[in-house]
């Protein structure tokens, strides 16, 4: 089997060299367009409802927010707001809106438009509110209101001081959409996005592709690419072949097993960043045996995260020491767990203490397409199943389509569930509030812990970074003690590009790819 796999890899590499070496042609007209192949389709193009990376990847080309994260960095910079001030008590923020910016439909981008995009998320009675705005709780829970003082001045009022408002406004769900388009399309804005960004929405062939065109009137200067086409291909082999044969200029969702081939392939450049992401195993803490902390700890002990990472990610992943990515652990927000190796003897002992020495049966929900934090979900599920079988836990894997994954996981029919998160900003509150918050739909663990929520609220309100770090560390200590999930791994984000394609920006936050400055050399 190993010899067969090795020969197959060499044949693929040889074919790549033949196909890519002498051929000058590209997948698209060099001066005009870019074709990207990815593992799955977007779920929505309404930024307020975009919680998955495939959706935010597209939305980020079309729509913009008041602020954003700097290219390739973790610092907030002005975007549609040129500057801002904060009141002495930290409860009022005043943003000065950039002048002369227009939406793609020709209507003016102003303070009133910004207020509408914020209020539609936080006010269920707002005429443009829609089901599915599930991240508003985490992003804007502290926002009391937003109002235009004049065309170019926006005031945001808070219920309490917030250290993370700018991070929230830089998130993928915070871009501003055209009020004119919202009035025209209502909830169907999800299929007809209108923003101020460098690219204009053209067409969405559901399940196949999304096409964007250059915005010639972009306030930051028109992009050099005329079109960006994002094609959906769930099969990693099909994506590889499209890229290999030059029918695609860029590729995401790369299995670790393909990286050695791409590294040796002529005419290919790989962009990599240490992603702010986490893949984890969620326990349904309100169901069956997983109500017991001892059982959850047993599963935690049974999983060797170093071995799982090597198997599923290869060199493209890092074992997770806690529920935050290494960049935030290094900042001091969480104590790193030194041991990420499994201990099956300890796992069996913990199960015996719960009267489960003979083991038990459980279901494990897994998604059907790769995610930026988990390139091979099925393989991870199978590896977890094998590891748990070693301590007597018999796992049945249930595959759920990504289109339904969040709603099915939120319903809580699973025992175990593979989950993950790609951070929009270097802010622990975003992930902890949305994925472990007691009233959050994204809490697949269905974990309820009032002291944890109190610590998060205090950390969010504090403007003292030292106090915030201490409070987040205490909150994560509760997570470690209660074990609502097992942190598994962090993926290194990788994008394959055709040689000669320059100016593409791969962000460490949100697995975002920016094409505004891209061009063919």
DSSP three-state, residue 130: coil
403-435 confidence digits (pLDDT tens)? 899 999 999 999 999 999 988 778 888 889 889
Residue 3 in this model has a pLDDT that exceeds 50: no
> What is the second-level CATH architecture of the domain 277-492?
Roll (3.10)
- Mean pLDDT for all residues in the chain: 90
Q: What is the 3-state secondary structure (H, E, C) of 172-233?
A: CCCCECCHHHHHHHHHHHHHCCCCCCCEEEEEEECCCEEEEEECCCCCCCCCCCCEEEEEEC
Average pLDDT over residues 381-387: 98
Q: Which of 3-17, 275-289, 498-512 has the lowest mean pLDDT?
A: 3-17
Average pLDDT over residues 10-29: 46
200 vs 508, higher pLDDT: 200
- Please report the sign of the dihedral spanned by the C-alpha atoms of residue 465, residue 70, residue 196, residue 174: negative
Q: Which of 60-74, 199-213, 293-307, 327-341 has the lowest mean pLDDT?
A: 327-341
Give the per-residue pLDDT at 24: 41
Give the per-residue pLDDT at 27: 56
Confidence of residue 19 (pLDDT cuts 50, 70, 90): very low
Give the per-residue pLDDT at 338: 62
Give the per-residue pLDDT at 213: 98
Give the per-residue pLDDT at 336: 60
| Cα–Cα distance, 277 to 274 (Å, whole number) | 9
CA distances from 151 to 109, 111, 112, 127, 148 (A): 9, 5, 7, 21, 7
Residue 476 in this model has a pLDDT that exceeds 70: yes
Residue 399 in this model has a pLDDT that exceeds 70: yes
Confidence of residue 111 (pLDDT cuts 50, 70, 90): very high
Residue 13 in this model has a pLDDT that exceeds 70: no
| Cα–Cα distance, 474 to 451 (Å, whole number) | 10
Average pLDDT over residues 457-466: 85
Give the per-residue pLDDT at 462: 84
Residue 477: phi and psi, rounded to 5, are -65, -40
The number of helix segments (H) and strand segments (E) in the chain equals: 17, 22
Query: Would you tell me how many other CB atoms lie within 10 Å of the CB of residue 354?
Result: 15
141-197 confidence digits (pLDDT tens)? 889 999 999 999 999 999 988 888 999 999 989 999 999 999 999 999 999 999 999
Distance of CA 154 to the CA centre of its chain: 28
Average pLDDT over residues 468-480: 93
313-345 confidence digits (pLDDT tens)? 988 899 998 998 888 887 778 766 667 889 999
Average pLDDT over residues 449-477: 90
Give the per-residue pLDDT at 29: 55
Calculate what percentage of the chain has a pLDDT beyond 90.
73
Residue 139 in this model has a pLDDT that exceeds 90: no
| Close Cβ partners of 202 (under 8 Å, ≥ 6 residues apart) | 211, 212, 213, 227
Residue 507 in this model has a pLDDT that exceeds 70: yes
354-372 confidence digits (pLDDT tens)? 999 999 999 999 999 999 8
Give the per-residue pLDDT at 25: 47
Average pLDDT over residues 287-307: 96
Give the per-residue pLDDT at 8: 45
Give the per-residue pLDDT at 423: 83
DSSP three-state, residue 296: helix
73-99 confidence digits (pLDDT tens)? 888 999 999 999 999 999 999 999 999
């Amino acid at each position: 089997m190993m010899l067969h796999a090795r020969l197959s890899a060499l044949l693929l590499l040889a074919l790549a060299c033949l196909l890519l070496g002498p051929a000058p042609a590209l997948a698209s007209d060099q001066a005009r367009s870019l074709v990207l192949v990815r593992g799955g389709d977007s779920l929505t193009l309404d930024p307020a409802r975009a919680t998955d990376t495939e959706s935010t990847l597209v939305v980020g080309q079309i729509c913009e927010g008041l602020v954003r994260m700097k290219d390739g960095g973790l610092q907030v910079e002005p975007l549609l707001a040129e500057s801002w001030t904060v009141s002495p008590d930290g409860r009022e923020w005043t943003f000065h809106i950039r002048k002369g910016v227009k939406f793609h439909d020709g209507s003016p981008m102003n303070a009133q438009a910004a207020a509408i995009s914020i209020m539609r998320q936080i006010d269920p009675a707002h005429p443009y509110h829609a089901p599915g705005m599930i991240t508003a709780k985490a992003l804007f829970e502290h926002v009391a209101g937003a109002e235009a003082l004049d065309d170019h001045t926006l005031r945001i009022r808070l219920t309490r001081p917030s250290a993370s408002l700018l991070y929230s406004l830089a998130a993928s769900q915070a871009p501003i959409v055209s009020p004119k388009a919202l009035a025209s399309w209502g909830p169907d804005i999800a299929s007809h996005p209108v923003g101020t960004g460098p690219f204009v929405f053209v067409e969405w062939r559901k399940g196949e592709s999304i096409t964007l065109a250059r915005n010639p009137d972009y306030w930051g200067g028109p992009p050099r690419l005329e079109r960006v086409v994002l094609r959906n291909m769930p099969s990693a082999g099909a994506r590889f072949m499209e890229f290999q044969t030059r029918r695609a200029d860029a590729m995401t969702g790369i299995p670790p097993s393909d990286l050695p081939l791409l590294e040796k392939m002529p005419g290919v450049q790989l962009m990599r960043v240490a992603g702010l992401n986490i893949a984890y195993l969620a326990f349904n803490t309100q169901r069956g045996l997983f109500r017991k902390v001892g059982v959850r700890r047993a599963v935690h002990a049974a999983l060797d995260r170093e071995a799982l990472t090597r198997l599923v990610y290869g060199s493209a992943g890092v074992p997770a020491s806690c529920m935050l990515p290494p960049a935030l652990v290094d900042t001091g927000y969480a104590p790193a767990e030194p041991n990420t190796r499994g201990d099956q003897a300890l796992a069996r002992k913990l199960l015996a203490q719960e009267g489960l020495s003979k083991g038990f049966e459980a279901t494990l929900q897994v998604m059907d397409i790769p995610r930026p934090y988990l390139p091979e979900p099925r393989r991870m599920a199978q590896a977890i199943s094998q590891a748990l079988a070693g301590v007597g836990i018999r796992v049945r894997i249930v595959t759920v389509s990504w289109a339904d994954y969040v709603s099915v996981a939120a319903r809580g029919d699973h025992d175990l569930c593979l989950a993950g998160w790609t951070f929009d900003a270097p802010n622990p509150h975003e992930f902890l509030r949305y994925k472990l918050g007691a009233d959050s739909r994204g809490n697949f663990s269905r974990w309820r812990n009032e002291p944890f929520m109190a610590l998060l609220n205090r950390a969010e309100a504090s403007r003292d970074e030292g106090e915030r770090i201490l409070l987040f560390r205490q909150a994560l200590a509760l997570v470690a003690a209660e074990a609502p999930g097992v942190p598994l791994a962090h993926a290194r984000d990788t994008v394959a590009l055709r040689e000669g394609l320059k100016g593409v920006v791969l962000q460490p936050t949100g697995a975002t790819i920016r094409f505004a400055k891209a061009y063919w050399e």
